Amino acid sequence: MSRCTTGGDDPAFLCATELLGNVNEASWGVCRRDVREDLQPNDFVVFFCAKPRLQSPTFVDYYYVGVGTVAEALPRHAIWTDHQYAAYRKFYNVLAQWNGEYLIQKEVFHPYHENWRQRATAPYIIFNRDAALTSFNLTNPTLVATYDGLQIPERWNEAGEGLRDYLFTERGIERGLRSSKTGYGHAKINLLRQGNAIRPGRPLEELRQALIYLLQQKP
């Protein structure tokens, strides 16, 4: 399975960089509960950053952040009961802490999530640190598309053409990253299946390699 998602810093890129010294050791534990609960080791997720323009907030620029391959999908209490995951206890996305009997809320930033218990039922995802499987660029990610506040889907630029072909055109996906003008505008995309049907396009292993290669190229 693979997924395409956008926005946010739920994968804790900052914590992985500052605490572990490797952005590829990021994790995912708060948003997209419905995606996290389906992920298994060796599945991968494609991430974009959606950034509104300061001077023109109706415009949203999309940056290609990278690909994360799942190393482990942990039950939430494992972070606190298994010492090998001790480093993740300081991450901003742990959401909940195990007190020996049950989970209690543990969040850093307001507003806290009222539905934290439901979010914490889905696995806490740790990505594979192997650069051949996981690669994130937070320093100078490539601007690949822009939403002008009016036209859906977003408009892709020359630097993003190859990426759009891999993720959308080749796999027979007619929509784009942006799926709504208002509200929750970035619905997930399953790159493997549409319902019970397998999507066209290259095998997922080959797709992952192509996506990582694109990330590492200068536009």
Question: For the residues 161-173, what does the mean pLDDT come to?
Answer: 97
Query: Both tokens of residue 173?
Result: 């996906």
pLDDT score of 207 more than 80: yes
The answer to whether position 88 is within a domain reads no
The answer to whether position 15 is within a domain reads yes
Question: For the residues 36-48, what does the mean pLDDT come to?
Answer: 96
The answer to whether position 51 is within a domain reads yes
The answer to whether position 36 is within a domain reads yes
How far is it, in rounded angstroms, from Cα 77 to Cα 117?
A: 12
pLDDT for the residue 34: 94
Residue 127 is inside which H or E element, if any?
Answer: strand 124-127
pLDDT score of 3 more than 80: no
How far is it, in rounded angstroms, from Cα 23 to Cα 29?
A: 16
79-83 own/partner pairs: CB under 8 Å, 24+ apart: 79/124
pLDDT score of 86 more than 80: yes
The answer to whether position 89 is within a domain reads no
Q: What three-state secondary structure class fits 61?
A: strand
pTM score of the predicted model: 0.92
Query: What pLDDT band is residue 2 in, cutting at 50, 70 and 90?
Result: low
Output the CA torsion sign for 23, 65, 14, 82. negative
Phi, psi of 168 (to 5 degrees): -115, -65
The answer to whether position 98 is within a domain reads no
Report the b/e string of 56-81 with b at 16+ CB within 10 A. Answer: eeeebbbbbbbbbbbbbbbebbbbbe
pLDDT score of 202 more than 70: yes
Q: Count structural domains, the chain.
A: 1
Beta strands in 7-84 (DSSP E): 27-28, 44-52, 60-74
Mean pLDDT of the chain: 92
Question: For the residues 175-197, what does the mean pLDDT come to?
Answer: 90
Report the alpha-carbon angle 167-172-173, nearest 5. 60
The answer to whether position 94 is within a domain reads no
Question: For the residues 102-122, what does the mean pLDDT come to?
Answer: 94
How far is it, in rounded angstroms, from Cα 201 to Cα 192?
A: 9
For residue 166, what are the domain limits?
Answer: 2-77+123-215
Phi, psi of 198 (to 5 degrees): -80, 130
pLDDT score of 41 more than 60: yes
**Percent of the chain residues topping a pLDDT of 70:** 93
Query: What pLDDT band is residue 134 in, cutting at 50, 70 and 90?
Result: very high
How far is it, in rounded angstroms, from Cα 83 to Cα 81?
A: 6
Query: What pLDDT band is residue 110 in, cutting at 50, 70 and 90?
Result: confident
Query: What pLDDT band is residue 99 in, cutting at 50, 70 and 90?
Result: very high
Contact 134, 47 (CB under 8 A): no
Question: For the residues 41-66, what does the mean pLDDT come to?
Answer: 93
Query: What pLDDT band is residue 6 in, cutting at 50, 70 and 90?
Result: low
The answer to whether position 93 is within a domain reads no
pLDDT score of 16 more than 90: yes
